[in-house]
Amino acid sequence: MPDLIDAVLSGAAAGDLARCPVPGSYRAAHTRKADVTMFGAVADKDVRRSLHVGEVPMPDLAPDEVLVAVLAAAVNYNTVWSAMFEPVPTFDFLARQARRGGWAARHDLPYHVLGSDAAGVVVRAGAAVRRWSPGDKVVVHPACIDPEDPYSQSDAMFTEDPLAWGFETNFGSLADFAVAKASQLMPKPPHLTWEEAACSTLCASTSYRMLVSPRGAVMKQGDVVLIWGAVGGLGGYAVQLVRNGGGIPVGVVSSPAREELARALGCEAVINRESLGAGGLAGPKGWRRLGEEIRRQVGEDPHIVFEHSGQETFGASVYVARRGGTVVTCGSSTGYHHEYDNRHLWMKVKRIVGSHGATYQESWEVNRLLTLGMLVPVLSAVYPLDEVGEATRAVQQGRHAGKTGILCLAPREGLGIEDQAARDRIGEGRLRLFRGA
């Protein structure tokens, strides 16, 4: 009987894939429930200690699910949170999900297979799956939504319990196989390599909802948009989306090399936050310095501030947004408890908008932009799955730019391109802008 992995790697036809037996176990990056207290009060929670790569049992497939052979995946910041067991151990999410009963109970295990971005090949489809079948090359939208929740018909992020795949669910993408709902699948952009295709979905679709969606900041032509971490995972896509929509991206970064990269990506103005002087952004003096620098470079205040850094930047974000402007936030890397001067918010009628993830439809729009070459991946580095601890450590320490890719079943970089003409049209220079950064 042919081996399923060999069949995937040789590009076997759908029928052949379906005939290969599914292995009983597979290689996966995971955390262990037994480790959740391992860091105690240690300040530096080194994720290399809590991330393990080893064999785990293959789960059963629910009727609405697919089994994906993962060629490549990516590290997201949620991988860092999971491996630090902060702000809560993700095992709590798995236990809560299991209380729904039925197929959800499978997720509550003493190990958690992480990972929320993947590119791969469908190798099995459950009996209720209609649109996808073995052999389909796919990327995976990272939100698992309950279609029986009535709010899934308006905005999936309003459902009672939208779950982040491979963070709030088990069987994620940092592995040789992953389980996803059929309603998470999208066609892999054919001009991208596996690792390029795997690195965009979560961050690009989160940025899209924050900036473009009616639930986000609803950016319009000419808007000045201040983007924290302009060459980070979210920021690298935000800059491109602002440019695409006729806005004026103003990037904030932390080094001269990143200033250069931000400009090459499309930022019209760039601020190195390390150059803001003593005290940085803490308190009104720092906020004013930032505001003055934005005015000096672009002549006006931001219509939108793209926030995810949280505690250390939020006061400045609320301050620098223009009268009637919007601070849109999806995270708090530097701390959850934000302080800002509310007078700047109410007197100047600004808005703070919370945003989380994206709907399948928003992700689909983003996947279309990637397929058209209107968005390019911001992949900077690629590691093999066995070195996922080192890759995640680099993200934890902020040493990476853009996205960090992981080769799972793909034996090397550069594979998976099916449309070389599209690649040539978009240009290697744009597609590889972040490589080595």
Residues found near ligand NAP in the complex (CB under 6 A): 76-78, 202-203, 206, 228-229, 232-235, 252-254, 258, 273, 308-309, 312-313, 330-331, 333-334, 356-357, 395, 398
Q: Kindly state the smallest distance separating residue 10's Cβ from ligand NAP, in Å.
A: 34
To the nearest whole angstrom, how small is the minimum distance from the Cβ of residue 401 to ligand NAP? 7
- Residue (329 or 371) nearer to ligand NAP, CB: 329
| Minimum distance from residue 116 beta carbon to ligand NAP (Å) | 9
**Residue among 135 and 216 whose Cβ is closer to ligand NAP:** 216
Q: Which is nearer to ligand NAP, 159 or 313 (CB)?
A: 313
In the bound complex, what is the minimum distance in angstroms from residue 125's beta carbon to ligand NAP?
A: 27
Specify the residue, 136 or 268, whose C-beta has the smaller distance to ligand NAP. 268
Select 111 or 167, whichever has its Cβ closest to ligand NAP: 167
Query: Cα–Cα distance between 423 and 420 in angstroms, integer?
Result: 5
Cβ closer to ligand NAP: 118 or 122?
118
- In angstroms, give the least distance from the CB of 1 to ligand NAP: 41
Rounded Cα distance between 43 and 303, Å, is 37
Tell me how far, at minimum, the Cβ of 115 lies from ligand NAP, in Å: 14
Query: Which one, 103 or 340, has the nearer CB to ligand NAP?
Result: 340
**Is the Cβ of residue 144 or residue 395 nearer to ligand NAP in the bound state?**
395
Q: Compare residues 397 and 420 and give the one whose CB is closer to ligand NAP.
A: 397
Closest CA to 316 of 345, 347, 336: 345
- Please report how close the Cβ of residue 323 comes to ligand NAP at its closest, in angstroms: 24
Closest approach of ligand NAP to the CB of residue 421, in Å: 31
Residue 166's beta-bridge partner residues? none
3-state secondary structure labels for all residues of the chain: CCCHHHHHHCCCCHHHHHHCCCCCEEEEEEEEHHHCCCCCCCCCCCHHHHCEEEEEECCCCCCCEEEEEEEEEEECHHHHHHHHCCCCCCHHHHHHHHCCCHHHHHHCCCEEECCCCEEEEEEEECCCCCCCCCCCEEEECCEECCCCCHHHHCCHHHCCCCEECCCCCCCCCCECEEEEEHHHEEECCCCCCHHHHHCCHHHHHHHHHHHCCCCCCCCCCCCEEEEECCCCHHHHHHHHHHHHCCCEEEEEECCHHHHHHHHHHCCCEEEEHHHCCCCCCCHHHHHHHHHHHHHHHHCCCCCEEEECCHHHCHHHHHHHCCCCCEEEECCCCCCCCCCCCHHHHHCCCCEEEECCCCCHHHHHHHHHHHHHCCCCCCEEEEEEHHHHHHHHHHHHCCCCCCEEEEECCCCCCCCCCCCHHHHHHHCHHHHCCCCCC
Write down the least CB distance from residue 398 to ligand NAP, Å. 5
